[in-house]
């Protein structure tokens, strides 16, 4: 009876130590997703990119050790490189969205500051216009 109780206690303890990191990582991901989903996506993509780079290094090492044939090596390397390129494009897209958002915010702040100082802008393209203009010199739209 004592051995059975000890065995059950041992299994429960081991289960706790195995499962707790998994639960904690899911909780951390959930918390970070609420803060900034783009940042979490970016972190995931960067992590996947590093994994692919590591896989490329591994297959190069395996090829040098003679564990992979040349045709298998070339095929695997091509697949991993294509995946890495795709990940890099996705990373650039997310980072580009952040840059564009910051630029738009900066432009809006400049327009607000300028409008407070009497400078007006075209409603269509954002080009500065003078007081007597009826049409935008840049895009040709009628000014309000």
Per-residue pLDDT at 109 exceeds 90? no
pLDDT per residue over 70-91, tens digit each? 999 999 999 999 999 999 898 8
Query: Domains of the chain: which residue ranges?
Result: 37-117
pLDDT per residue over 40-52, tens digit each? 788 888 899 999 9
In the three-class reduction of DSSP (H, G, I as helix; E, B as strand; rest coil), residue 117 is classed as: coil
Q: How is 21-45 classified by DSSP, letter by letter? A: HHHHHHHHHHHHHHH-HHHHHHHHH
Q: Are 143 and 135 in contact (CB under 8 A)?
A: yes
CA dist., res. 72 & res. 59, Å (int) = 9
- For residues 17 and 79, the model is more confident at 79
CA diameter of the chain: 97
β-partners of residue 120 are 129
């Amino acid at each position: 009876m004592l051995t059975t109780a000890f065995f059950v206690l041992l299994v429960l303890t081991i289960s706790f130590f195995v499962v707790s990191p998994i639960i904690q990582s899911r909780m951390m991901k959930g918390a970070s997703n609420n803060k900034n989903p783009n940042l979490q996506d970016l972190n995931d993509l960067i992590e996947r990119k590093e994994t692919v780079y590591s896989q490329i290094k591994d297959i190069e090492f395996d090829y040098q050790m003679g564990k992979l044939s040349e045709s298998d090596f070339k095929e695997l390397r091509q697949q991993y490189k294509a995946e890495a390129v795709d990940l890099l494009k996705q990373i650039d897209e997310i980072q580009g969205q952040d840059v564009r958002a910051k630029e738009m915010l900066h432009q809006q702040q400049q327009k607000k500051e300028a409008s407070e100082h009497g400078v007006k802008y075209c409603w269509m393209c954002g080009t500065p216009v003078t007081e007597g203009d009826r049409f935008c010199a840049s895009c040709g739209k009628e000014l309000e």
